[in-house]
């Protein structure tokens, strides 16, 4: 039988997987609400990708619970869980990398995004951010609203770079996107830990934990999988001896 400490570690990391799935699901739904600046930065494609990832994490969690409640000698469920975790890991890496890569060229990327907006949206954006134009007052500036009320005011703002929209837009997007892809990449620690912990429950992975500690990583899963398999081996030996211990 796996030790209580091992199963405690497995349960904790599995709970973290559940929390990651719920958090991702909630944000993927809530962020679809109407918010001018957030809708500009977080596209529907990102939200759909987040929704798919959330469903994948929750399905994997459900599979892991079904696997861990099986008898010790039934390990196929944990093996399936690890394959699902591998798929989740690939999804996390792809989504995180796409958002990270987009964040590297935010100024140019959001210029393209703003240029595709309607005049009404640009006016609302200018009023909210108190700016006229994107890179300068003649770049994508739209006359109207409360702030950029007339052409004369827009021309005057061309002498003050702080009045251009590129600054506040990228300041918001940089903070938001950095937090998003950092959080997504953080899921990888949960996935890797649970894979290794599940292997420990099946077999016995003290050696994996030692190697992980040497490399500065937390991988109790492998230990749990391996220890579970070892306990099952001794149970079968004990049955062959008629239920008596070794002493």
* 244 in any annotated domain: no
Q: How far apart are CA 170 and CA 156, in angstroms?
A: 23
Phi, psi of 152 (to 5 degrees): -60, -45
- Any domain includes 216: yes
Residues 117-139: tens digit of each pLDDT: 999 999 999 899 888 888 887 88
Label residue 8 by pLDDT band (50, 70, 90).
Answer: confident
What DSSP line would sit under 176-238, residue for residue? HHHHHHHHHHHHHHHHHHHHHHHHHHHS--HHHHHHHHHTT---HHHHHHHHHHHHHHHHHHH
Residue 247 lies in a domain: no
- In a domain, residue 245? The reply is no
pTM of the model: 0.76
Contact between 16 and 192 (Cβ < 8 Å): no
Residue 243 lies in a domain: no
Instruction: State the total domains in the chain.
Output: 1
Where in the sequence is the domain holding 82, given as residue range(s)?
Answer: 4-237
Does the pLDDT of residue 104 top 50, yes or no? yes
How do residues 177-217 score in pLDDT, each as one tens digit?
A: 999 999 999 999 999 999 988 888 777 544 455 445 444 44
Residue 226 lies in a domain: yes
Residue 165 lies in a domain: yes
Bridge partners of 155?
A: none
């Amino acid at each position: 039988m796996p030790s209580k400490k091992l199963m405690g570690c497995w349960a904790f990391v599995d709970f973290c997987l559940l929390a990651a799935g719920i958090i991702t699901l909630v944000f993927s739904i809530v962020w679809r609400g109407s918010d001018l600046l957030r809708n500009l930065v977080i596209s529907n494609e990102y939200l759909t990708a987040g929704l798919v990832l959330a469903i994948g994490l929750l399905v994997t969690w459900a599979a892991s619970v079904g696997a861990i409640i099986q008898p010790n000698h039934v390990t196929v469920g944990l093996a399936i869980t690890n394959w699902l975790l591998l798929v989740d890991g690939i999804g996390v890496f792809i989504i995180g990398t796409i958002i990270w890569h987009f964040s590297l060229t935010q100024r140019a990327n959001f210029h393209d995004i703003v240029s595709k907006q309607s005049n009404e949206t640009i006016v609302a954006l200018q009023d909210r951010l108190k700016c006229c134009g994107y890179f300068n007052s003649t770049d994508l500036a739209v006359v109207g609203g409360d702030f950029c009320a007339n052409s004369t005011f827009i021309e005057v703002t061309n002498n003050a770079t702080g009045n251009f929209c590129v600054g506040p837009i990228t300041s918001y997007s940089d903070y938001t996107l950095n937090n998003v892809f950092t959080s997504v990449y953080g899921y990888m620690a949960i996935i890797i830990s649970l894979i290794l912990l599940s292997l420990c429950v099946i077999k016995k992975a003290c050696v994996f934990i030692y190697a992980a500690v040497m490399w500065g990583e937390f991988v109790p899963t492998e230990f749990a999988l391996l220890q579970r398999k070892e306990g099952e081996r001794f149970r079968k030996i004990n049955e062959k001896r008629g239920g008596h211990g070794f002493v």
